[in-house]
């Protein structure tokens, strides 16, 4: 049985970014596809065969909360890059609405869009996009220059973000003198220099080797903690998505397959596709106690140790196995359920390829933000 934990959606009023019915169709007479149900309902391959069109993004609706790290994940070709470019209309959507801070972005003219892209959004790309003939400090301050800020202001702000991303001492180097990881730090600093409301990342670390990649992921986690920016982060890497994302949108062939927190995707996959996707994830590192707590049985002692519902199974394992009493899962003084060896071992000893799903828990995700 699958756990049915409901995380309420962020409603439109408190969303920073609200996307409704978004489509991007490439190909001849693309506009007709979202409008005509007999075309809109075709899967990607059938649509391509019938019309020559590709639905890169199909009928996506979701809200992004202020301060959230929203991850868009999917295999190559699933539509991630197209989606993230549609958000600022670098790619013009075919249908749907885009509301940012209450403003209808699809109604914005070119001038307004340019201003928004300059002041509210910053993008970090896979291939850094640095200007090779400019020093680090001048790459970082480029956006401020375009915005017409004075040289002393630019320098001050550039230095601030260079320090923030750990590039101090490299201000006067040229990009080619830096390693890939350092170049991406310049990309990050440049994106932060504008003090945008939203940072958009398109597979920023895919070109980096695994160690540097992990280091840069940690850097994003740290920066998010320090500057608290809203982030939309595109990746095809599940572990990256789980590490960074408050919520993850899993896409396939342009459509949304599941939107949820990492533990929801792992604990309650929406279908076999998601189940396959998360099959190799070490569940004990992702699932929290709220997923495995059960109601106490008749006569069971309730004087065991207490843990919070957001404790990872991995962190609770030692205590649960060492305790001769069931561990109580307690939230704000309220008993949500108990956990014994059986519940822990079902997760920890689970072979990677078994069809595992969390059991329903009495625990309520009451301490989650109201998404």
Ligand X SMILES: Nc1ncnc2c1ncn2[C@@H]1O[C@H](COP(=O)(O)OP(=O)(O)OP(=O)(O)O)[C@@H](O)[C@H]1O
Q: Which residues bind ligand X (CB under 6 A)?
A: 26, 54, 56, 74, 76-82, 236
Closest distance between ligand X and the C-beta of residue 173, in Å?
30
What is the closest distance, in whole angstroms, from the C-beta atom of residue 227 to ligand X in the complex? 26
Cβ closest to ligand X, residue 30 vs residue 137: 30
CA distance 263 to 256: 17
Q: How far is the CB of 104 from ligand X (least distance, A)?
A: 24
Q: How far is the CB of 217 from ligand X (least distance, A)?
A: 18
Which of 22/56 has CB closer to ligand X? 56
57 vs 105, which CB is nearer to ligand X? 57
| Shortest reach from residue 55's CB to ligand X, in Å | 8
Secondary structure of the chain in the HEC alphabet? CCCCCCCCCCCHHHCCEEEEEEEEEECCCCCHHHHCHHHHCCCHHHHHHHHCCEEEEEEEEEEECCCCEEEEECCCCCCHHHHHHHCCCCCCCCEEEEEECCEEHHHCCHHHHHHHHHHCEEEECCCCCCCCCCCHHHHHCHHHHHCCCCHHHHHHHHHHHHHHCCCCCCCCCCHHHCCHHHHHHHHHHHHHHCCCCEEEEECCCCCCCHHHHHHHHHHHHHHHHHHCCEEEEEECCHHHHHHHCCEEEEEECCEEEEEECHHHHHHCCCCHHHHHHCCCCCHHHHCEHHHCCECCCCCCCCCCCEECCCCEHHHHHHHHHHCCCCEEEEECCEEEEEECHHHHHHHHCCCCCCCCCCCCCCCCCCCCCCC
Comparing CB distances to ligand X, the nearer of 89 and 134 is 89
Closer of 81 and 159 to ligand X (Cβ): 81
Q: Please state, as a whole number, how many other Cβ atoms lie within 10 Å of the Cβ of residue 354.
A: 7
- For ligand X, give the closer residue by CB, 24 or 243: 24
Query: What is the nearest approach in angstroms of ligand X to the Cβ of residue 235?
Result: 9
Question: Closer CB to ligand X, residue 74 or residue 187?
Answer: 74
When the beta carbons of 247 and 252 are compared against ligand X, the nearer one is: 252
Q: Which two tokens stand for residue 234?
A: 């595109």
């Amino acid at each position: 049985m699958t756990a049915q934990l409901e995380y309420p959606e962020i409603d439109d009023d408190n969303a920073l970014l609200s996307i409704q019915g978004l489509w991007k169709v490439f190909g001849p007479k693309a506009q007709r596809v979202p409008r005509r149900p007999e075309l809109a309902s075709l899967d990607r391959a059938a649509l391509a065969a019938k019309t020559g069109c590709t639905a890169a993004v199909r009928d996506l609706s979701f809200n992004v909360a202020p301060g959230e790290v929203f991850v868009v994940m999917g295999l190559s070709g699933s539509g991630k890059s197209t989606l993230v470019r549609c958000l600022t209309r670098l790619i013009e959507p075919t249908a749907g609405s885009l509301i940012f801070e209450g403003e209808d972005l699809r109604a914005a003219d070119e001038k307004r869009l340019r201003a928004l892209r300059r002041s509210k959004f910053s993008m970090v790309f896979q291939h850094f996009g640095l200007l090779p003939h400019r020093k680090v400090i001048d790459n970082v301050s480029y956006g401020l220059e375009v915005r017409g800020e004075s040289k002393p202001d630019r320098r001050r702000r550039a230095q601030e973000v260079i320090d923030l991303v750990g590039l101090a001492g490299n201000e006067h180097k040229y990009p080619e003198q830096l390693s890939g990881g350092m170049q991406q730090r310049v990309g990050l600093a440049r994106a932060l220099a504008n003090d945008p409301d939203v940072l958009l990342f398109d597979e920023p670390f895919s070109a980096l080797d695994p160690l540097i990649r992990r280091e840069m992921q940690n850097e994003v986690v740290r920066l998010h903690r320090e500057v608290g920016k809203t982030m939309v982060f595109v990746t095809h890497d599940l572990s990256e998505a789980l590490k960074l994302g408050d919520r993850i949108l899993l896409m396939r062939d342009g459509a949304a397959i599941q939107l949820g927190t990492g533990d929801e995707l792992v604990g309650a996959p929406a279908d076999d596709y998601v189940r396959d996707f998360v099959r190799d994830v070490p569940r004990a590192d992702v699932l929290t106690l709220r997923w495995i707590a059960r109601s106490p049985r008749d006569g069971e002692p309730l004087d065991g140790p207490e843990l919070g519902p957001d404790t990872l199974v991995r962190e609770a394992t030692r205590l649960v196995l060492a305790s001769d009493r069931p561990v109580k899962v307690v939230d704000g003084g309220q008993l949500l359920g108990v956990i014994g060896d059986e519940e822990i071992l079902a997760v920890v000893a689970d072979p990677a390829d078994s069809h595992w799903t969390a059991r329903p828990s009495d625990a309520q995700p009451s301490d989650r933000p109201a998404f």
